[in-house]
Structure 1
Amino acid sequence: MTLLQNKVLLVSGGTQGVGAGIVRAAVREGARVAFTGRRPGTGDRLVDELGSDVAFFVQADLADPEQAIISVQRVVSHFGRVDCLVNSAGLTTRGTLLDTSPGLFDQHIAVNLRAPFFTMQAAVSDMVSRGAPGTIVNIISMAAHGGQPYLSPYSAAKAGLVGLTRNAAFAHRWDKVRINGLNIGWTQTEGEDAIQRQFHDADDGWLADAALKLPMGKLGQVDEIADFVVFLISDRSGVVTGSVIDWDQVVIGPYD
């Protein structure tokens, strides 16, 4: 028996990066997986890779709360229910306290906080209406602890998601809906490569240089995160709920 046998999972932002890694890992563990994204071509290619019997793509811009809610409803219509939800869609554009515009701030709140709020609302509503247990994992960020100066709106939104994760876990523990969060650190993805080049003038050797400065000699890896998330949404993680786990090689608190 695999970890997610007969489970239905929805992954927001599942067309690339960490989200796509979670989609692939969940399918390997026996789940039927729906995932959202804004670009139909990327989503359709992932369905072709995994098979339409186990994968379902929902095109949605989760900055629009109505689309966030409808994305869950479409999964319920397609697969009959939602057993598990992973909120992995995220916006990582840069901004400091002094140069962030109201528009940029609102974008971060819309994608990094409001979208998971309303996907959780819709998914938990399905679980509660069926009297069924469920699991949710919110992909958060180490920046929720404070973050770098250039991550001001991102850190604010992710810190809000930490509070939301714990609030929702407490509210629905008697419904047997377990809700946890994962503060992931610096991770090697195609999106991170684009961010480094766009905002930090990185060249082709940035990844190797960055790895040399990290204790484990590498950035976080998508497949490692995906395996951890699969464990958290599976029954093997037991009764744990309301936990926000730092998944990183940086240790918050101590200093040299």
Structure 2
Amino acid sequence: MTRLDGKVCVVTGAASGIGKRIAEVYAQAGGLVAIADLRLEAAETVARQIRDDGGDALAVAMDVTDEAQVVDGIARVIDHYGQVDVLVSNAGIQIVNKLTDFSLADWKKMLAIHLDGAFLTTRECLKDMEQRGEGGAILYMGSVHSHLASRLKAPYVTAKHGLLGLARTVAKEAAGYGVRANVICPGFVRTPLVDKQIPEQARELGIGEDEVVRNVMLKDTVDGEFTTVDDVANVALTLAAFETNALTGQSIVVSHGWFMQ
């Protein structure tokens, strides 16, 4: 099994969904995991579950759009564990709407969580990685929408495309001290985020919820299957453990063949 023994791993949005599963898999592989989430109580529950299962985890309150909270949160992780070796910038939300009906506030909120959050957490973790010069891995949770567009998701698609540029820039800037940056691009994963979209898209498109799943979300997969949190977590483990600059600046698509590159 791929191992992360002793590696300190910060996962944002880790109190539920994909982030939670990545944190669990990292802990099972020997990683020391910081569960960073807007909801501290939920983060503490996940951290406690990991510790009960024999892992090592710390809960950290973090609104990734709040610079002070990010600075303080990463500092707390470093104070507790001594360093940061892996960052998974996973925190995200979805708002579905026609572009002409999108409010500027919702547009800014989407970009702030996905892009400002990625920038702020990257900056703080890179400071430690650069100072120590011992390498590291930064992973961004992109999407198939980092490569394709869909109706009703203008800010989400824009933000997920933006993560490709950020990862490639980090890969160039941080290569000298052994830090790799990559983007994981899942297809539709059956999380609460996706469950919320199904009725929203059904209303906007004027079709049934089953049709949204079958003919919108899974239409172009090779097997009509949702991507699973385990699918994504296993790729995140491989990327976190990969030790050379041979694999950096890349987007790895995990989508049951929905998008092929």
Is TM more than 0.5 here?
Answer: yes
Match of 2:194 among 192, 195, 201: 192
Matched residue, 1:169: 171
2:198–2:209 Cα contact (<8 Å) kept: no
Equivalent residues in 2 for 1:1-256, closer than 5 Å: 2-51=2-51, 54-200=56-202, 209=214, 213=219, 214-235=221-242, 239-248=246-255, 249-251=257-259
Aligned CA distance change for structure 1 residues 232 and 110 (closer, same or farther; 3 Å): same
Amino acid at match of 1:221: T
Q: Secondary structure at the match of 1:187?
A: coil
Q: Secondary structure at the match of 1:33?
A: strand
Aligned CA distance change for structure 1 residues 121 and 238 (closer, same or farther; 3 Å): closer
Displacement of 1:41 in angstroms is 2.5
Displacement of 1:251 in angstroms is 2.8
Counterpart-to-counterpart distance in 2, 1:118 and 1:212: 33
Displacement of 1:204 in angstroms is 8.2
Aligned CA distance change for structure 1 residues 82 and 50 (closer, same or farther; 3 Å): same
Structure 1 gaps, min length 5: none
Q: Secondary structure at the match of 2:36?
A: strand
User: How many aligned residue pairs are there?
Assistant: 253
Displacement of 1:28 in angstroms is 0.6
Q: CA RMSD in A?
A: 2.3
Amino acid at match of 2:121: T
2:214–2:224 Cα contact (<8 Å) kept: no
Displacement of 1:109 in angstroms is 1.2
Displacement of 1:69 in angstroms is 2.6
Q: Alpha-carbon deviations, 1:30-52, whole Å to 9, x = none? A: 10100211222311211221118
Q: Alpha-carbon deviations, 1:186-206, whole Å to 9, x = none? A: 111132112323453598867
1:96–1:153 Cα contact (<8 Å) kept: no
Counterpart-to-counterpart distance in 2, 1:208 and 1:157: 23
2:70–2:121 Cα contact (<8 Å) kept: yes
Displacement of 1:2 in angstroms is 4.9
Counterpart-to-counterpart distance in 1, 2:115 and 2:165: 10
Structure 2 gaps, min length 5: none
Name whichever of 40-49 and 75-84 sits farther off: 40-49
TM-score by length of 1: 0.90
Displacement of 1:70 in angstroms is 2.2
Q: Alpha-carbon deviations, 1:48-102, whole Å to 9, x = none? A: 2111860111111112122223221111111110011101111211133212111
